Structure 1
Amino acid sequence: MLADILAQLQKQASAGESGIAAAFELNWQSLEPEAQKLACLLSLFALAPIPWSLVESAASASYLEFDIKGNCAVLVERYLLQELAEDTYQVHDRIRELLQQKLEELAEADDLKRGFCQAMVAVAEDIPETPILIEIAQATLAIPHLGETATVYQAWLSDDDLIWPFVGLARFYNGQGAYIQALPWYEQCLSAAKKRFGDEHPSVATSLNNLALLYDSQGRYSDAEPLYIDALAMTKRLLGDEHPSVATSLNNLALLYDSQGRYSDAEPLYIDALAMTKRLLGDEHPSVATSLNNLALLYDSQGRYSDAEPLYIDALAMTKRLLGDEHPSVATSLNNLALLYDSQGRYSDAEPLYIDALAMRKRLLGDEHPSVATSLNNLAFLYKSQGRYSDAEPLYIDALAMRKRLLGDEHPSVATSLNNLAGLYKSQGRYSDAEPLYIDALAMRKRLLGDEHPSVATSLNNLAGLYKSQGRYSDAEPLYIDALAMTKRLLGDEHPSVATSLNNLAGLYDSQGRYSDAEPLYIEALEIAEKRLGANHPNTITFRENLEYLRRNLQP
């Protein structure tokens, strides 16, 4: 135990000396200069286990050209360092304090601090934007020492390296869906960059963009937008209009607009980002695959399925070529292509892709991750569409619980899970279970996304459908009308969601015997569906059957 080190030092003290400091001083004076320098270097590490690989890296970066391993053994023998396990060490907090005092007396103190920082920056640079389980495991022991670098030794980081410890720490947590733990590191990163460089610098623009991405992940769209806009404008001023960082900023701002249902704002940014990325990086690059995927997502959201599908397929193929078959981006592409097939009613094409994406995400990211929750939710939605309610319910419940644990109770993805679980209960006739979930989802979406958003329109439509099923026609009608009007404003008159809203309102009028009000709505819904979804889509077939049933009722 580390406490044993103190006890041994106390024993070493002579009868006339007392206290740890005196015992420490005796040991210190007996050390060779090389061992003293190594001990001072070790004092820079946090009060946490220290992997030997980090000691070697820091010693190399500090130009300590002597037997590091041998001197480390000397420190262990002298009770100044404990070997916790093979190639893993730790310094006791009191001894660390005394070593840090000695460090300040060394002529090479600044060299040791700079070398320590360089070693930690190398660790941070190796943490990818989306770390998988093995990468998280590899970085875990370094995280406390990265934190020490960012908070205590900032002054010894070079200008090029300044933001890296913060970025590495934030990626480590963000990649696990631990957004709350990631947030302070991105906030401190922005503050540190502004303090050193002023308000106008590429590192400041990068920090703004990273913080905006995190806010976006948290559903904090109103906080994210001004940061994205500032980052884009600053990047253009500093690097010119044609630069990979400009393309990244365009893409990120477009993603935000897409999430907000602002499709007409998002599309030109996506197109510009894709074209610029191809010009600068070539046609075959991971960033090109990302841009293709994002543009496809937009077209999918707009019901432009024939435009979306080839982009999704190209993005998936390119991602596999460049990154291999087992990668988080491959899982994302599989999931997105499955979503498209699901939207088209191509359930047999969608299911194996959803299952593959879920399995891959679990292998790479672990069982507890926002992307795993998304896959569970999507697979449940497919099963519900197929009437496989007993298969869908446990997946919906698991997805909702996981999202609450990872994202908090107030998040757009939590609202989506509430809405979807309510939809399942409604399909099963469990109206008393469905209603509070629909109401909670609607209220949360309004709070987080504003009153004018496609997801709000969806919630209005769904709650109206529940009221209709209960025969509460006067409660349902205004919600259906509001949902239809909002969907037209946001998505245009010929979006598949407009067809669904028209069909639903027509169904209400049909149930009330208001056949002359219902018929033109059924006709319009069918025309849109045939045009946008095709004649054999499940929705198109449903709308056609509804119209035919109405006309049979109208016959004398």
Structure 2
Amino acid sequence: MSGAARIQRLQSLFEEAVGLAPPAREEFLTRLRAGDPALAVELAALLAHDEDTPSAERAIVDRVLPSAARLARRRSDHSPWPDIPGYRLLREIGHGGMGSVVLAEREDAQFRHQVAIKLVRGFPSEKLLERFRRERELLATLRHPNIARLFDGGTTMGGQPWLAMEYIEGQPLDDWCRNEKPSLQRRLRLFQALCSAVQHAHQKLIIHRDLKPGNVLVREDDQPVLLDFGVGKLLDEDDSALQATRTRMFTPAYASPEQLRGEAASTLSDVYALGLILFELLAGEPLRHVSGTTSVRSPSRVAETGEHWLRADARLLRGDLDNIARKALHDDPYRRYASAAALSADIQAWFAGHPVTAAADGWAYRMRKFVARHPVAVASSLAGLISLAVLSLRLVEERAQARLEAEGANQAAIFLVDLLKSSAPEATRGETLTVRGLLEQAEQSLEVRQFSRPEVKARLEMALADIQISLGRAEAAIELLEKAVQRARSPDGDPRVLGQGLRLLALAYLDASRHEDGLHAAEQALALNTKVFPPGHPEIGHTLMNLGVAKQHLRRHREALEHFHAAQALFSAAGEEYRENVLSSMHNQGWSMYMITRYEDAEPILLQTVAEKEQLLGPNHPSTLRTLQVVAQLEQATGRPRQAAERLSELLRRSILLRGEDNTTVADTRNILGSALHDLGRYEEAEAQYRAAMDTYAALGSDSQPGYAVPVNNLASLYEDQERLADAEAMFRHSLALRISRESGPWAIARAQNNLARLLLATGRVDEARVLAEEAWTVRGALEPAHHVERLDGLAMLARIENASGNDVAAQSHLASWKTLATQVTLAPNRRVAMHRMFAEFAVRSGDRGAVIAEFRAALAALQSAMPEGHPRIASLGIELASILVEGDEGERREAFALLDAARDIAAKHFSEHGPTLRRIAALDALR
């Protein structure tokens, strides 16, 4: 081994051994002596030197690493701590393999407070210096109440790096458990706060890689604070250099299987480490200490043999909590929880008595959980659904069917009687789980009981599925309805039952985002129902509505409108009892008109629908609130963001009162409110709403659904407007990856591609932008040509890219197509501004300075007419225009500096110091 390689090997061993407790360190040295005695002697000398222990082996240290020896000796000869200007170092409060932590006091004329100073332990190798620099950069981006904050940082006179961090008064997590003996609820609430901190870091594209109880301090208020992101890394960082050194960047006892195998860490590695911490909180002992392997034992089994305070809660761990720990600790990363938020959401589901995703999914399990939460309501609902099924058998009134219908009704009634008998006291023997037993019996009986006609059983399955749809359990409904439809297809089955089953199946498919399946089922249902029901029957109207909604999701809005008009006419003719259905069809018409920018047609029908829904259903009915949300979106799209924000703020308040904080409807409203605030230039408030929407999605486990990508995309656009271009690019890429992995529709993926292409073009990466823009156009080009603004966006992006590349023929061709299409579409204010900006880019290419200025003036006027005074985008555009005018005559120069003075304070408040606007301001100042 060469001298350089030997020193590198010694450094690696030192970093691995220095953080070990004395017994473990001695064992480490013993193993090393067996393979390389000389290297073991040198390592022991380094360890002794690091501890400032007098040793005859210091000469070896000086020979091997003289710089380390000199630094350590200088530190021990003059002062126990290096001199850090502005701080007085008091005492050591912690140490580990990476550094020592010293309590210090800030010495300042204005304020005084205590901080924790982290110093490199031992010798500051280049690798350790780099790790410290990275830790400083990473921590500076994190702002979370459960993550220790970074205040300051630098390098001592001797070249030793340091960080000044928030001083946390608290106990390490394992000590807190031993000393406090907290209840299971306290432990789990603390763990959820820890998950929230880790999720925050992951959303910043940062992973920790060394989560363990020693890196968690618990304050007196039971709030955990996560320490030491020094071994974290950005997700897109190249880890090859770190792998080459083979230095452990983690604590083996809390590392994931992939880390132990030497593979790169990911967010799923942090999820595994959270699983280990959860196991320890539940069982009272570390998993690997108990089992000696990475196999997962049940926390409940371990807790049963622990201290009394643990044994008392062991029974509560059985089942869901055991399953949650197993899922978090799965050896296959992709079978763990997808995020820390998803892990926390399953614990929240356990608290609420909801089904957890870690459990074996099944209708029986979910129904048992539902019954445990709502025993009385379920009893009433069950009786109601059976009665409904019995009554529905009388839909067929033809005399030839009377006997069969009576026979079916009699069988359904017998089924109901049997279920009710099973809840009688003599059957339950006084047990308290009567309703749960009743529901289990319903499931089992429905599965095995024989009926004289298949549609009798099918109707019971359909009635139960209808309740599942109303409860938001689309997948459970699909399972029942697919069986019901199959039964109803029997040769002697009733086609009316089949038509009803297909209609309900279409609705369930649409709720599960299976839009093509929903369209197919709705088309079958309509073809069948128009044959078996008389014209004008309400069942045909319901089927038309489902078919229209399916086509809405598939961007076939003109066809959808035809179905909604037909349904409205049918329900209107059916009588006043179908008034709510009439209003639903009007809402759907307004939504489709909004989607194809027929704003003048959409607004009156939506306002009428809101007024009638408030009168018929009440102002806080979910259906009323849905239409109010579309009205607010229309106001925003037509340049009225202030009205939209006011309406959405009130809508959010009412939605929270109705549903509570934790549901996707509230998350959607927050996202739309954030967009309105974004348009108003209230960037901080907009970011808060976007992040709240993302957090709610994640807490509900809905971050795996396509809708979660929408606030991610909007946050990226906000960063783009703030000229935080690196952050914007990372979030746009995240949004695109989410939409691809979540199997979002091709239109959603194309939108994300176009947004990322726009950012890449702004940063000069034209070829990368072209690839994305052309991929997006393959989808957008097939949209309805005269009815979708996204075709305009796609054409504009292609034109701008070719113009920037100097491909004049292609650029002019795309621009001509854009102009033709623009005459058929209502342009919102933002798109009018983008239009003038695009024309200005073409004028720059042709060298027509007058046209450039004219287009910028037009863009500024359009922005000023739509946005409030002092909007950041007005300031940015004004500065851009000033940069052109300053090169003109004296009058244009005066106008340029007037624009500069008007925009300076606004720009300083809202834009990144590294962005183009502040750079332009500096350049203009230099020309005064």
TM-score (norm 2): 0.46
1:127 corresponds to: 468
Shift of 1:156: 7.7
SS of the equivalent of 2:555 reads coil
Shift of 1:416: 0.8
Structure 2 letter corresponding to 1:62: F
Structure 2 letter corresponding to 1:215: K
Could you report, residue by residue, the CA deviation over 1:364-393 in whole angstroms, capped at 9, with x for unpaired residues?
363332212323322333333334444444
2:858 to 514, 524, 527: 524
Shift of 1:504: 2.9
The correspondence of residues 53-68 of structure 1 with structure 2, limited to 5 A, is 62-65=415-418
> Residue 512 and residue 535 in structure 1: after superposition, are their counterparts in 2 closer, same or farther (change >3 A)?
farther
Query: 5+ residue gaps in structure 1?
Result: 1-47, 71-85, 104-108
1:371 corresponds to: 707
Contact 2:736/2:752 (<8 A) preserved: yes
Shift of 1:528: 1.9
1:422 to 757, 767, 775: 757
Shift of 1:50: 8.1
Distance 2:796 2:822 in 1: 10
SS of the equivalent of 2:780 reads helix
1:278 corresponds to: 614
Structure 2 letter corresponding to 1:208: L
1:490 to 815, 821, 825: 825
2:888 corresponds to: 554
2:843 to 509, 523, 533: 509
The correspondence of residues 270-419 of structure 1 with structure 2, limited to 5 A, is 270-364=606-700, 366-404=702-740, 411-419=746-754
1:226 to 533, 544, 562: 562
1:258 corresponds to: 594
Distance 2:690 2:753 in 1: 20
Shift of 1:477: 5.1
> Residue 361 and residue 157 in structure 1: after superposition, are their counterparts in 2 closer, same or farther (change >3 A)?
farther
Distance 1:416 1:259 in 2: 15
1:269 corresponds to: 605
Structure 2 letter corresponding to 1:206: H
> Residue 146 and residue 49 in structure 1: after superposition, are their counterparts in 2 closer, same or farther (change >3 A)?
same
Contact 1:179/1:407 (<8 A) preserved: no
When the two structures are aligned, how many residues end up with a matched partner? 472
2:512 corresponds to: 176
Shift of 1:212: 1.1
Contact 2:786/2:821 (<8 A) preserved: no
Contact 2:458/2:487 (<8 A) preserved: no
Distance 2:603 2:515 in 1: 28
Contact 1:129/1:175 (<8 A) preserved: no
Shift of 1:362: 3.4
Could you report, residue by residue, the CA deviation over 1:386-444 in whole angstroms, capped at 9, with x for unpaired residues?
344444445434543554466577x3222212211212322332211111221232342
> Residue 519 and residue 50 in structure 1: after superposition, are their counterparts in 2 closer, same or farther (change >3 A)?
closer
Structure exhibiting the larger radius of gyration computed from Cα positions: 2
Contact 1:412/1:448 (<8 A) preserved: no
1:543 corresponds to: 877
Contact 2:536/2:570 (<8 A) preserved: yes
**Structure 1 residues 392-401 or 223-232, which shifts more?**
392-401
SS of the equivalent of 2:418 reads coil
1:464 to 769, 786, 799: 799
2:487 to 152, 176, 197: 152
Distance 1:344 1:480 in 2: 30
**Does the alignment pair 1:207 with 2:560?**
no
Distance 1:274 1:399 in 2: 33
Could you report, residue by residue, the CA deviation over 1:193-233 in whole angstroms, capped at 9, with x for unpaired residues?
32331342212111111111112112233442322222222
1:217 corresponds to: 553
Distance 1:267 1:225 in 2: 15
Distance 2:658 2:784 in 1: 36
1:248 corresponds to: 584
Contact 1:273/1:291 (<8 A) preserved: yes
Identity %: 23
1:13 corresponds to: none
Distance 2:553 2:470 in 1: 13
Structure 2 letter corresponding to 1:126: I
SS of the equivalent of 1:294 reads helix
> Residue 382 and residue 241 in structure 1: after superposition, are their counterparts in 2 closer, same or farther (change >3 A)?
farther
Contact 1:50/1:88 (<8 A) preserved: no
The correspondence of residues 2-21 of structure 1 with structure 2, limited to 5 A, is none
> Residue 224 and residue 89 in structure 1: after superposition, are their counterparts in 2 closer, same or farther (change >3 A)?
closer
> Residue 426 and residue 418 in structure 1: after superposition, are their counterparts in 2 closer, same or farther (change >3 A)?
same
Could you report, residue by residue, the CA deviation over 1:443-480 in whole angstroms, capped at 9, with x for unpaired residues?
42231231553222222222233234334456445645
Contact 1:319/1:330 (<8 A) preserved: yes
**Does the alignment pair 1:437 with 2:772?**
yes
SS of the equivalent of 2:704 reads coil
Distance 1:468 1:480 in 2: 10
SS of the equivalent of 1:367 reads helix
2:28 corresponds to: none
Distance 1:457 1:542 in 2: 24
**Structure 1 residues 538-547 or 395-404, which shifts more?**
395-404
Structure 2 letter corresponding to 1:260: I
Structure 2 letter corresponding to 1:501: M
Structure 2 letter corresponding to 1:519: I
Contact 1:50/1:90 (<8 A) preserved: no
Structure 2 letter corresponding to 1:152: R
The correspondence of residues 20-169 of structure 1 with structure 2, limited to 5 A, is 51=364, 62-65=415-418, 109=452, 114=456, 116-128=457-469, 131=472, 135=473, 140=476, 143-153=478-488, 165-169=501-505
Contact 1:170/1:181 (<8 A) preserved: yes
Distance 1:482 1:302 in 2: 24
Root-mean-square deviation (CA), in Å?
A: 3.8
Contact 1:404/1:414 (<8 A) preserved: yes
Distance 2:839 2:363 in 1: 65
Query: Which has more helix, going by share of residues?
Result: 1
Distance 1:289 1:183 in 2: 26
Contact 2:642/2:680 (<8 A) preserved: no
2:390 corresponds to: none
> Residue 497 and residue 352 in structure 1: after superposition, are their counterparts in 2 closer, same or farther (change >3 A)?
same
Distance 1:387 1:398 in 2: 18
Contact 2:455/2:487 (<8 A) preserved: no
Structure 2 letter corresponding to 1:506: A
